């Protein structure tokens, strides 16, 4: 039997690399004074300026700290000079584990959430107001939130995030430094994102992003930072990037990441529409299974990433569903790729109080701007067969 071509629906884990034509060989050390080094330095500056511009930090290349990926970007900002970090229970491990490093981590509070993955604003407001009793002198406080959740696709609204930021400013003693960090790793290429004074994230000070989530290369990510003063280096070495992130900059990776980002963001509106169409088609295929309770959709129904569909299947194992689709060369996942070796239920699903019968049956289907309608049709056909089989088994 001939193998069908791969239909790839795991774009939240990583994306298919996009071909872009690159400038001539870029290999000199950007810190070397000779021509080859200066050639690299020029490309690095152009690429960082382009990335800064695309995220609304117009002509501020120094706001772009080149790091290895989203994990390092978030580690860096969370390990800054903070007295307190407010975050959520639904963060990626890159945040949760950093906050658990007792030796280095500041005090932290995890804000409560609703079952749809949105922050519970009334309960969080009460928690924030209670800080008035605790802090009498100016403090450094970071609000760090996963903007688009990697497992359930929920997007925290800008209005809610701004409200929490304003509440912190109103509660903490005058002179306190309140900063906002968004883990925007799953947002780029799916949601418009601008840190500009008139942008949708004007009140945000830092974002973590990772190029392999937008069809760029693996091993390069960026911490976009409006103000480096609270940041500490995680590594010690040379004076690159002001000593904040020493090590020779991987110029070719940065250039490639910036070119792909430019392409992806200039096609965002069309891509979002196409991905929404795919998601709606897959959701329709699930409809009979949703109405009889076999499938439970997870995350928020409307505040969610257009490319993302997540659900749990009753009394099933997500890994069996993934394997069944995999036999037809269709790639989906059960949640976060970073925790896929764990047999424990996802901390995000637990935080969303997903009923026990569904907890192990998580499936995540994420498309990209490269996904085709033919791939979606094939996925739906196979998914219906797999779910009908599971349903039949649990009825018998
Ligand atoms: C929301 C989120 N944050 C952080 C990361 C870590 O990014 P990276 O793999 O680039 O270190 C991921 C990766 O899946 C993610 O989905």
Q: Which whole number is the average pLDDT over 302-319?
A: 97
Nearest CA to ligand 1 atom 8: 70
Task: Kindly report, residue by residue over 129-180, the tens digit of the pLDDT.
Answer: 999 999 999 999 999 999 999 999 999 999 999 999 999 999 999 999 999 9
Residue 23, pLDDT score: 81
* Residue 1: band (very low, low, confident or very high) from pLDDT cuts 50, 70, 90: low
Residue 341, pLDDT score: 60
Say whether 183 sits in a helix, a strand or coil: strand
Q: Which whole number is the average pLDDT over 39-48?
A: 97
CA of 173 to the centre of ligand 1 (A): 34
pLDDT at 68 over 70: yes
Nearest CA to ligand 1 atom 4: 70
CA of 365 to the centre of ligand 1 (A): 17
Residue 103, pLDDT score: 64
What is the C-alpha to C-alpha distance for residues 217 and 215, in angstroms, rounded to an integer? 7
CA 376 to mean position of chain CA atoms: 23
Residue 287, pLDDT score: 98
Q: Are 332 and 340 in contact (CB under 8 A)?
A: no
Provide residues with CB under 6 Å of ligand 1.
Answer: 69-71, 92, 94, 146, 150, 183, 185-186, 210, 221, 338
CA of 74 to the centre of ligand 1 (A): 9
pLDDT at 396 over 80: no
Residue 129, pLDDT score: 98
Q: Which whole number is the average pLDDT over 226-230?
A: 97
Nearest residue to 149 via CA among 222, 229, 88, 64: 88
Q: What is the mean pLDDT of the chain?
A: 95
Q: Which whole number is the average pLDDT over 63-85?
A: 97
Nearest-atom number in ligand 1 for the CA of 148 is 1
Q: Which whole number is the average pLDDT over 254-277?
A: 97
CA of 70 to the centre of ligand 1 (A): 5
Residue 105, pLDDT score: 66
What is the C-alpha to C-alpha distance for residues 221 and 185, in angstroms, rounded to an integer? 9
Question: For residues 334 and 89, which has the higher predicted lDDT (pLDDT)?
Answer: 89
Q: Which whole number is the average pLDDT over 58-66?
A: 98
Task: Kindly report, residue by residue over 75-129, the tens digit of the pLDDT.
Answer: 999 999 999 999 999 999 999 999 998 666 679 999 999 999 999 999 999 999 9
First to last CA, the chain: 31
DSSP codes of every residue in 287-318:
HHHHHTTSEEE-S-SSSB-TTEEEEEETT--H
Mutate to test the pocket of ligand 1, among 68, 69, 208, 217 (most ligand atoms within 8 A of CB): 69
Residue 78, pLDDT score: 96
* Residue 24: band (very low, low, confident or very high) from pLDDT cuts 50, 70, 90: confident
Residue 343, pLDDT score: 72
CA of 20 to the centre of ligand 1 (A): 23
Q: Which whole number is the average pLDDT over 52-70?
A: 98
Task: Kindly report, residue by residue over 352-376, the tens digit of the pLDDT.
Answer: 999 999 999 999 999 999 999 999 9
pTM confidence score: 0.96
* Three-state secondary structure of 228-269: HHHCCCCCCCCCHHHHCCCCCCCHHHHHHHHHHHHHHHHCHH
Question: For residues 338 and 181, which has the higher predicted lDDT (pLDDT)?
Answer: 181
CA dihedral angle for residue 296, residue 302, residue 306, residue 307, rounded to 10 degrees: -10
């Amino acid at each position: 039997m001939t193998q069908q071509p791969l239909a790839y629906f795991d774009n939240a884990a990583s994306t298919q690399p996009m071909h872009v034509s690159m400038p001539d060989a870029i290999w000199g050390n950007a810190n070397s004074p000779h021509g080859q080094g200066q050639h690299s330095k020029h490309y690095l500056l152009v690429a960082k300026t382009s990335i800064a511009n695309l995220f609304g930090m117009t002509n501020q290349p120094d706001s772009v700290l080149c790091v290895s990926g989203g994990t390092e970007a978030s580690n860096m900002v969370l390990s800054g000079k903070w007295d307190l970090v407010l975050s959520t229970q639904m963060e990626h491990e890159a945040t949760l584990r950093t906050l658990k490093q007792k030796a280095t981590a500041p005090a932290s509070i995890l804000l409560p959430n609703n079952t749809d993955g949105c922050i519970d604003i009334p309960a969080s407001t009460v928690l924030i107001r209670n800080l008035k009793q605790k802090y009498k002198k100016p403090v450094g406080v970071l609000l760090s939130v996963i903007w688009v959740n990697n497992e359930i696709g929920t997007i925290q609204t800008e209005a809610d995030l701004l409200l929490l930021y304003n509440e912190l400013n109103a509660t903490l003693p005058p002179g306190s430094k309140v900063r906002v960090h968004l883990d925007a790793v799953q947002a780029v290429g799916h949601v418009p994102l601008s840190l500009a004074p008139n942008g949708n994230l004007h009140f945000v000070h830092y974002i973590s992003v990772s190029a392999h989530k937008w069809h760029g290369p693996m091993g390069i990510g960026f911490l976009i930072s409006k103000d480096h003063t609270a940041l500490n280096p995680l590594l010690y070495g040379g004076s690159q990037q002001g000593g904040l992130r020493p090590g020779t900059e991987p110029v070719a990776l940065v250039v490639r990441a910036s070119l792909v980002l430019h392409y992806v963001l200039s096609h965002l509106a069309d891509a979002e529409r196409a991905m929404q169409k795919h998601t709606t088609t897959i959701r329709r295929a699930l409809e009979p299974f949703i109405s009889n309770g076999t499938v439970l959709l997870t995350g928020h129904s409307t505040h969610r990433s257009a490319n993302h569909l997540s659900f749990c299947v009753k009394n099933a194992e997500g890994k069996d569903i993934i394997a069944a689709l995999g036999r037809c060369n269709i790639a989906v996942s059960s949640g976060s790729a970073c925790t896929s070796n764990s047999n424990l239920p996802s901390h995000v699903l637990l935080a969303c109080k997903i009923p026990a019968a569904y907890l192990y049956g998580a499936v995540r289907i994420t498309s990209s701007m490269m996904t085709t309608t033919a791939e979606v049709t094939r996925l739906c056909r196979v998914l219906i067969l797999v779910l009908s089989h599971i349903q039949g088994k649990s009825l018998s």
